[in-house]
């Protein structure tokens, strides 16, 4: 397939505006500006583009939730807080083709009639934030952004906003809170951001890859886009493959290739002398899939049918050298570290699950541990929490417990009881100085 999102990879100086314009850049935006905003939305609806951030919600549908008669400002936010373990596609677009993203942002902003857009980029991406800043400055200097976008009378400002190290800010309401200058606590829904979003105004939050699809939908048409993949699962998709493959990296493939194609053909298969054991199809928050599920199609619906999810398209490949209990413990550390601490099941559950898994890995597992883990996962997901981080830690851990019970059994069979904790007896040190509480 010809590269669409990654066409600039390998092109010298690809991040500059001149290179981008020479390759036909900003033609999609020109086309969009010639249409009514609703017609742009229609085009995106027809393309059946689904959000690439993880949930796979139809992008055009999301836009239509913005109240049409809302008087005040509306906002578009580009979610570049790429933090899902196993996902590294947005950075690729920003590094090689920042103007593709800016064009996509401009198209989406025009469609929802927003005059301000923010790019919320994760704090660690210092260099990539600078690339975006530079691209925005270039575009503004040439009249592509600013009070007159390409002389159309439509005005758009784009600002880069850096996060500061919080996975939870990839969740859209948490991102909005963070953008407003607060702790990144997800909001209760409803109201949804499209109605009450950033600064209390209608807001659409779209992922980098989603927005990067827009220029080509405009230039080549919805039908062309929908012809890639299969109905409801259309367009090119960036698959990020990491872990035990020969050639890890980002691959742009038509939606719906099988995981076998991705792993074996494009990535050269797992390392020599090892066999595939398991893989996460869409970032670590998706339920794990086993080697026998390798022929599942890598699209939204097929992954859902297989009991997992395409998520962000971050494929983490694990070969037979990996101890799945250790992998679960590793992920539990991640989620316990990243739980915002706002609501009970996720805050307590993620820590608790991590402690249990650490104990099993340390050789002190108990026979009831797998059941306890499943119980924690059950009650930290399925709407028990404010945001999907509960599901995000529950699904991978519970799927590992269910699909690799023999590994837990092996650990637990070899376990020794945890040595009792020795509590030191402290000598009496006299009354505590400075404390005058009763």
Partner 1 sequence: MPKVTIDGTAVEVPAGTNLIEAARLAGVDIPYFCYHPHLSVVGQCRICMVEVEGAPRLAIACATPVTDGMVVRSETSPRVKEARDAVMEFLLANHPLDCPVCDQAGECLLQDHSFSEGRDTTHMVETRRTFPGFERRLIGPHIIQNQNRCIHCSRCIRFTQEISETAALTYKSRGNHAYIDTFDGQPLTDPFSACTADVCPVGALTVREFRFRKRAWKLRSTPSVCPGCSIGCNLWIDHHERTVFRFTPRENEAVNATWLCDYGRFLAESLNEAQHLHPLHRVEGQLRKVSWGEAIRALALDLGAARTLRVVAAGTLSNETLFLARELFVRHLKGELVVAVHDGAPRRMKNARGQWLRSRDAHPNSEGARRLGLELVDGERLARFLYGAADLTVILDPAAHPYLATTEALQLLRVSPTLALARTNHPIAEVASWLLPVASLAADEGTFTASGGKVQRFEPAVAPAGEAKPGWQIVHLLARGMGVTSLDLASPAAVFAAIAARDRAFAGLSWHDLGGKSRSSYREHQHVG
Partner 2 sequence: MTTAAIHAVPAEQLATVTFDASTEERIAELLTHYPTRRAALLPVLWLCQQRYGWIAPGVIEAVAARLGESPAFVQGVVTFYTMFYTSPPARFVLQVCETLSCAVCGGAELVEHLKARLGIGFGERTPDGTFQLVGVQCLGACGSAPVVQINDDYFENLTIDTLDAILDELSKRKEA
DSSP conformational letter for 242? E
Peptide bond into 191 cis (omega under 30): yes
Residue 233 host element (H or E): strand 233-234
If one asks whether residue 180 binds partner 2 (CB under 8 A), the answer comes out as: yes
Q: Cα 169–353–392 angle (5° rounding)? A: 35
DSSP per residue, 170-186: GSHHHHHHHHTTS--PP
Q: Which of partner 2, partner 1, none does residue 91 bind (CB under 5 to 8 Å by kind)?
A: partner 2
If one asks whether residue 431 binds partner 1 (CB under 8 A), the answer comes out as: no
Name the one range near partner 1 by CB under 8 A: 84-92, 222-230, 324-332, 355-363. Answer: 355-363
Among 327, 389, 392, 397, binds partner 2 (CB under 8 A): 327
Q: Which of partner 2, partner 1, none does residue 125 bind (CB under 5 to 8 Å by kind)?
A: partner 2
Q: Which of partner 2, partner 1, none does residue 352 bind (CB under 5 to 8 Å by kind)?
A: partner 1
Beta strands 249-254 and 289-290: pairing type?
Answer: unpaired
Helix 37-47 and helix 208-220, axial crossing angle in degrees, nearest 10: 100
Burial class of 303 by CB neighbour count within 10 A (0 to 12, 13 to 18, 19+): buried
If one asks whether residue 345 binds partner 1 (CB under 8 A), the answer comes out as: yes
Among 63, 110, 154, 167, binds partner 2 (CB under 8 A): 167
**Strand partners for 316:** 242, 280
Chain centroid offset of residue 163 CA: 15
Name the one range near partner 2 by CB under 8 A: 205-213, 298-306, 320-328, 385-393. Answer: 320-328
Among 68, 70, 127, 246, binds partner 2 (CB under 8 A): 127
Tell me the C-alpha distance between 8 and 92, whole Å: 10
Tell me the C-alpha distance between 374 and 371, whole Å: 5
CA-nearest of 383, 284, 312 to 343 is 383
If one asks whether residue 161 binds partner 2 (CB under 8 A), the answer comes out as: yes
DSSP per residue, 106-171: HHHHHHTT-SEEEEEE-TT-HHHHHHHHHHHHHHHHTTSSBSSGGGSS--BEEEEEE--S-GGGGS
If one asks whether residue 173 binds partner 1 (CB under 8 A), the answer comes out as: no
DSSP conformational letter for 245? B
Fill in the per-residue mask, 126 to 165: x = in contact with partner 1 (CB under 8 A), - = not in contact.
----------------------------------------
Among 9, 64, 73, 264, binds partner 2 (CB under 8 A): 73
Among 27, 157, 351, 361, binds partner 1 (CB under 8 A): 351
Site residues (CB under 8 A) for partner 2, limited to 218-277: 240-244, 248-250
Site residues (CB under 8 A) for partner 2, limited to 330-349: 330-331, 333-334, 337-338, 340
Quick one: tokens of 148?
Answer: 């007159």
Among 29, 40, 121, 166, binds partner 1 (CB under 8 A): 166
Give the residues lining the site for partner 2 (CB under 8 A): 73, 82-88, 90-91, 122-127, 157, 159, 161-167, 178-184, 199, 240-244, 248-250, 284, 314, 316, 318, 321-322, 327, 330-331, 333-334, 337-338, 340
Give the residues lining the site for partner 1 (CB under 8 A): 166, 183, 188, 336-345, 347-352, 355-356, 359, 366, 368, 372, 375, 378-380, 382-386, 421, 435-438
């Amino acid at each position: 397939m010809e590269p669409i999102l990654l066409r600039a990879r390998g092109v010298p100086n690809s991040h500059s505006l001149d290179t981008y314009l020479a390759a036909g850049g900003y033609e999609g935006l020109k086309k969009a500006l010639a249409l009514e905003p609703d017609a742009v939305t229609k085009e995106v609806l027809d393309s059946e583009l689904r959000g690439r951030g993880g949930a796979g919600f139809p992008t055009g549908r999301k836009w239509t939730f913005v109240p049409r008669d809302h008087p005040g400002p509306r906002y578009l936010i580009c979610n570049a807080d790429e933090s899902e373990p196993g996902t590294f596609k947005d950075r690729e677009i920003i590094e090689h083709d920042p103007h593709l993203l800016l064009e996509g942002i401009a198209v989406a902003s025009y469609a929802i009639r927003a005059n301000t857009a923010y790019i919320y980029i994760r704090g660690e991406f210092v260099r990539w934030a600078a690339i975006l800043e530079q691209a925005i400055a270039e575009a503004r200097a040439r009249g592509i952004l600013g009070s007159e976008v390409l002389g159309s009378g439509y005005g758009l400002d784009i600002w880069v906003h850096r996060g500061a190290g919080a996975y939870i800010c990839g969740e859209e309401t948490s991102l909005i809170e963070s953008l407003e200058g607060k702790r990144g606590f997800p909001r209760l829904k409803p109201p949804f951001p499209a109605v009450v979003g950033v600064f209390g105004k209608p807001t659409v939050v779209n992922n980098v890859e989603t927005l990067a699809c827009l220029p080509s939908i405009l230039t080549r048409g919805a039908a062309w886009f929908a012809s890639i993949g299969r109905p409801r699962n259309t367009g090119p998709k960036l698959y990020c493959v990491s872990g035990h493959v020969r050639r890890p990296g980002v691959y742009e493939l038509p939606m719906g290739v099988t995981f076998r194609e991705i792993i074996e053909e494009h990535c050269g298969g797992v390392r020599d002398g090892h066999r595939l054991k398991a893989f996460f199809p869409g970032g670590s928050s998706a339920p794990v899939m086993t080697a026998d599920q390798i022929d599942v199609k890598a699209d939204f619906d097929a992954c859902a049918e297989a009991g997992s999810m395409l998520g962000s398209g971050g494929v983490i490949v694990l070969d037979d050298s990996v101890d799945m209990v250790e992998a679960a413990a590793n992920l539990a550390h991640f989620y316990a570290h990243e739980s915002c601490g706002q609501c009970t099941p996720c805050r307590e559950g993620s820590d608790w699950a991590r402690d249990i898994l650490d104990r099993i890995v340390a050789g002190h597992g108990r026979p009831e541990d797998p059941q306890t883990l499943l119980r924690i996962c059950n009650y930290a997901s399925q709407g028990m929490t404010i945001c999907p981080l509960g599901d995000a830690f529950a699904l991978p851990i519970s799927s590992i417990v269910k699909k690799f019970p023999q590994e837990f059994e092996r650990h637990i069979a070899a376990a020794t009881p945890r040595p009792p904790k020795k509590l030191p007896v402290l000598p009496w040190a006299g009354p505590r100085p400075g404390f005058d509480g009763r």
